[in-house]
Amino acid sequence: MMRLEIDAGNTFLKWRLMDAQRLVESNSILTKDFKAQSMASLATYAVQQILVGSVAGVENNHQVQAACISLWGIDPIFAKTSNNCAGVKNSYLDASKMGVDRWLAMIAAYKKVNRSVIVVDCGSAITVDYVSAKGVHQGGYIIPGLRLMRESLLRNTAQVRFDQDHTGMAMRPGVNTTEAVMHGCSYLFQSLAHSLKDEADAETELFITGGDGELMHSMMASGLFEPDLVMEGLVWVCR
Per the CB < 8 A criterion, the answer to whether 192 and 143 are in contact is yes
Reported as half-sphere exposure (CB side, CA atoms, 13 A), residue 134 has a value of 4
Nearest partner of 192 among 178, 175, 171, judged by Cα: 171
Q: 23-49 burial, b for 16+ CB within 10 Å, e for fewer? A: eeeeebeebeebeeebbeebeeeebeb
End-to-end C-alpha distance for the chain, whole angstroms = 14
Between helix 177-199 and helix 146-156 the angle, nearest 10°, is 140
Helix, strand, or coil (residue 230): helix
| CA dist., res. 183 & res. 26, Å (int) | 33
Q: In the annotation, is 129 catalytic?
A: no
At residue 207's C-alpha, the angle toward residues 205 and 213, to 5°, is 150
| CA dist., res. 2 & res. 118, Å (int) | 31
**Which residue in the list 19, 33, 94, 101 is annotated as catalytic?**
101
DSSP conformational letter for 156: H
Query: Among all residues, which ones are annotated catalytic?
Result: 101
